Each structure stands twice: as C-alpha cells, then as structure tokens.
Structure 1
Amino acid sequence: MFAIDLFIYNSFTELREDEHGQGTLTYSFKNDAYANIISGSISWNGTPFIRQELFSTSSSLKGAKVIVKESSACGCTTIKATIIDPTSMLLQNEDTQSYFYTDPYSIQYVSTPLNDNGYQLKIIFSNKNEAYSGTLSYLTTGITWAPNYDLFLTDGAKWTFDAYVNIKNAQQGQYNVNNTYLIGGNVQLAS
C-alpha cells in the first residue's frame, strides 16, 4: 500500500506517487494492476534519469538454480537444474547438461525465490550516489467514478439535495490516497 494522488476521468485514471530515495528507483506492479495500465503512459517527472527499464519479474528467474522433483512413481528423485527460459520453464540439468521442460509447481528455488510474476520498473539515474526526487505517474483503466444524486421534496416548499460519488476500484489493489480529483468530460488519448 502506498500514498498516491488520484485524478479520475470518465475513461481512465491517472495515479501519481511522489518518490524520494537514493540510487535506482525500483517500482513493482502486480500482473492485474499492470494489465490495466495504458501502454506508454508510465512517466517520471523529477530528477533527470539516463534509462528506464520495464520487465516481467518472471524473466528475473533466468539463470536461477533450482531443484526439480522428478516425475517418477515415488517422486523421490530430484534433479539440480538451472532455469534457461522462465516463460516456457526450459531447464538445464546440471549433471548431464541436457535440457528439459517441467511444471513450475515441481520446482524448489535455491537461489531465487518464486515471485508473483508481476512487472518491475527501474529508473536509473546518472549518479547512483545522489538522492533522487520526483513524481511517478501512469494511466490506468482499473478505477472509475460515477455521480449519484438524491433530491428530497417535502411540503412543496422545502427540499434537500445530496450528491454522492461512487468510486469503483476494479483492480482491487489497496491504495493510501492523499488526494482524489474527479474530472468530468471526455479526454481523448492519442494512440
């Protein structure tokens, strides 16, 4: 859970988070949250950077040392292996140097823990010994809003008018929201 500002439009939401630190900024997205991010919308406004990298965390498993339970009748034999391709689960047997595919659930990770297969953003600054400061923002389709109005008339001369907002978070991610801005009208995104 992190502190953010939400700018909720009719068709998308901009999330902004202030970031401060030193070295490389590393930011993680779960798969369901990343799936709702509008392509090309991740941006950084702050300390100048030299490179921005976005990659699937499953790719970080490449080269990981693992132990695989061999699929035999007793299931008692194990194979020491190295992950060659984390997407297809192509492994190389350390003893025989042969290659094989396996089920990801039959693997025990020795050097790298199993992760949630999300995405990781890295922003590399020119001097890793200096502090960085700025705002990370991106557009998502996972959060929407709709107005709701109630008008109560009594005795013909008295009335009350109540206005509410229903905010729906389809991502089901938890956010610690500093400020929320509701913006009406249509905004066309360039594609």
Structure 2
Amino acid sequence: MRQLLTAALAAALGTASAADLRIYPSFTEVREPVRATGTTLTVTLPEAAWAGLIPGTLDLDGLPFTSAVQRQEPNWLASLEGKTVFLKREGEPTQPVTLIRARDLLVRDAQGRYLTARYEDLSFDVAPPVNALSPIQTLTFTLPQAGAGTLAYLTRGVTWAPRYTLRASNQGAQLSALADIRNGTDLAYDVKATELYAGDVEVRGQPVPFPQAAFRNEAADAAETVTTAAPTINSQGELRGLYRYALSAPFTLPANSVVTLPFLTPKLTGFERYAGLNTYFTPQNTSGTLSRFYRLKADERLPGGLITVREEGRLVGQTSIPETAQGAQIEFSLGNDPDVRYTRAVQTVSSERNAQGNPVRTTYRVTYTFESSKDRAVRAEVTEIVGGRRIVIDSAPARQNQARAELRVDVPANGRATRSFTVVVDNS
C-alpha cells in the first residue's frame, strides 16, 4: 500500500502513472494494478484524475471488497497550518507570518494581526507540488483478505479520434489516417497496454468538469522525454459492433497533450468525383448550382472521423465521415460548384381529381438542363425524394410512401446536357 500511495503522489507531481488504457471516442477506461498487504487498501489519486472521472464507474477488479469510502483530504498547504511562511506584498518587505487556515489563506503577522493573503504572495522554505491548492481524493477499500487486483474507472479526460486525408489527382486517389490520442488532464500516463475502440458506446454518468487543457503535440515535448520507438496501431477485428485496435508497444501519454500516431492506409476499391444534387420533389420550377461530391470505397472498416481532401496537393475541403464497414460506399459533399449549374422545369402532364375537386393522381414530367463552364467533362447526378401514397418513377415498379428519382449524365466541357423523368403521384 505504501508503494501505491507513493506512486499516486508521484503522479500528482508530474511523474507518469502506470496504467492500461482502453480509449473510446468520448471516454477512457483506466486500469491500474494495485496490491493490498492487509485487509485495507487506500488508493490516493490526484485531483486531475478525479475531475474527469465519471461517477459510479470506480471499481476494484479481481479483488473482492466489503465496502469502499471516498473522501476528500486537505490540500498540501494544509500541512503548513501553524507553521511559518513568508508574505511579500507589493511595496512592502517580505515578512514571516503564521499560516492559520489553508482553506482561505488566513495568516497572522508578528504583531498578532490576522489578514487574508493571496497564494501568489506567499513563499515557502520547501518547494510546493504542482496544484498545491487542489485537494486530494482518497478511496479506502475494506477487504476480506489481502491480494492483488486492478483499480478501474472511466474518465472523460482521455479520448481519441481518427482523422483522414484523401489525396486526389488526375492519376487517382489515396486515403490515409492518423489517430489523435488526447489527454485533457494534468495527469500523465505511463501506458503499458493500449486499446482503441471505435463505435457507438454510451455511458450515462457525467463527470465533474475538468479544466480545459492547452493541448500540445507530443513532438513538442521530445526534449523533455526519453526517445523510444513509436508504437504502431494494429487492428484487432470487431467486438460486438465496435472496431478494436491495439498499440504495439508501451508509450507515455503526457499531461495536457495530444499524441498522434499513423493509423490506417486503406486501399481504395472505388473512387469517383461528381457534381451532385440531393433534394425533394416539388412541382415548382427551380434552378441553382450543383455541389462537389466524392464517392469512395475502402478495403478496410473505417471508424468515423474528420476527413481532409486535397486535390493536386491543395486543400479543397473538410467534412466528417461515419463509421463504415469494409467495402461500404461513402459519399460526401464539400460545398457548391459554381461552374456546374442546373435549370429544373416541371410540366403537369395529367391530373385526375375526385368529386370534391382534389387531385388524386397527377403525372409530372421533370426536365433538368445542366450547363458546365469547366474545361473538362463532368458527371452530374441528381436524386429527388418523392413522397405520396403510391409513386411511379418512369417505368419502374410502383413504390409506397416514398420513391427516389435519379438522373446520371455526363456534361461535356463548356457544354450542356438535358435529361428528363416522369413522376406519377397517386394519393387515391
């Protein structure tokens, strides 16, 4: 137990805390080995660990206990109550004072007068720890017997996210990914084993808000840490709908940091660019510009994340992609393409009405005219969602409630193209 307390206090002072991490997109399960030599085990964690902890998730795995009591211990400054510290106020000489209460920094001077000091005006004979004013939380377990186990808890302070880069050119496209592991706490972790999970995992508890960290990349701390071989990220397959990955080697996750590692380099089994429009059917005439769309398939399952698209090495947009199974199609838009315009004209071909004069079956002819000012041919694709009790699109089988009308056309360079389709809306 003494060794555990020493390690925990060392972590509070900035030394990495040894742990295994199971990192999810919005939280992390921290697993730290513990050993009890008697029937009482006291775990001391710094405030940085408790701040992001999700209530109701602390557990002692592999070591049975009969009760657990959590309490807040005084901060470091409380150990100096009744002792001499030094007060230096602007325009005044430094004077020795007695610290009466650490809670509100009440001190007494040599004349016996009481005053409230500011922490930054105090100096000490010994070096104060980091976050000297933060209280320390302890958790005391009562055990049937001695033994070893794992202290486990969930924290919002450590998360991860993939980010992709799609590099496209006239010769094709390549997709690569990085994994950002973020530590938003003042607690560093000496990580022995790391697993990354991607997918939809919901936890109910909300943590006490922790201070927002000024993130910095691990590379910025290279001069402060021992250089070791960077771990690689290996796929571990699927776990009940989650994507699971593991780091190949231990690593240090510094406090208030972002560690970035190479992630995936999937092979694209399909890639297309096109100018597109997704809209709902209306009997009104409309016009506008199409949007810049991309369509791709990869030979690996892809966790959801931010994707940056570069054409000929230049940034052309960013968006997010969802969780995607191996070989599934991904489509996304990067905004309007002013060089590809459309004009949509709707003609009512026929209309049948009931005895009350309300239309019950109407046939429309929708005509799209596309114009491009690009110096190369471009694919234009339009999808319209049509609603009604019974819908017929061109000669396709009738659909109930909703149907999709789709147009695909190659627009020549600096040219135009026209395509039409018919819609029968039957509400009888």
Same fold (TM over 0.5): yes
Distance change (3 Å), C-alpha of 1:162 and 1:50: closer
AA at the equivalent of 2:87: K
2:419 counterpart residue number: none
Asked which structure has the greater CA Rg, the reply is 2
Aligned residue for 1:189, secondary structure, equals coil
Pairs within 5 Å for 1:5-44: 5-22=20-37, 24-31=41-48, 33-44=49-60
Does residue 140 of the first structure (1) align with residue 155 of the second (2)?
yes
Any idea what SS the aligned residue of 1:75 has?
Answer: coil
How far the C-alpha of 1:18 sits from its partner, in A, is: 1.1
Return the letter of the residue paired with 2:105. Answer: M
Question: What is the distance in 2 between the residues matched to 1:123 and 1:169?
Answer: 23
Unpaired runs of at least 5, structure 2: 1-15, 207-428
2:188 partner letter: Q
- Do the aligned partners of residues 114 and 70 (structure 1) sit closer, same or farther apart at CA in structure 2, a change above 3 Å counting? same
1:182 aligned to 2:196?
yes
Write out aligned runs for 1:111-122 (5 A).
114-115=128-129, 116-117=131-132, 118-122=134-138
1:81-105 alpha-carbon deviations (Å, 9 max, x no partner): 1332x23212345873x43211223
Quick check: 2:27–2:156 contact (8 Å CA) kept in 1? yes
SS at match of 1:15: strand
Structure number with greater CO (CA < 8 Å, separation at least 6) is: 1
In structure 2, the CA distance between the partners of 1:168 and 1:190, relative to structure 1 (3 Å rule), is closer
Partner of 1:54: 72
Describe the shift of the 1:190–1:123 C-alpha distance in structure 2 as closer, same or farther (beyond 3 A): closer
How many residues are paired up? 182
Structure 2 SS opposite 1:105: helix
1:163, distance to aligned residue in structure 2 (A): 5.9
Task: Tell me, yes or no, if the aligned pair for 2:86 and 2:94 is still in contact at 8 Å.
Answer: no
**Letter of the 1:27 counterpart:** T
Q: Secondary structure at the match of 2:200?
A: coil
Identity of aligned residues (%): 24
Deviation at 1:30, TM superposition (A): 4.8
What's the TM-score once normalised by structure 1's chain length? 0.67
Q: Aligned partners of 2:142 and 2:54: how far apart in 1?
A: 27
How far has the Cα of 1:17 moved from its partner? 0.7
Unaligned residue ranges in structure 1 (runs of 5+): none
Structure 1 position 103 matched with structure 2 position 118: yes
Q: Which of 147, 165, 183 is the aligned partner of 2:179? A: 165
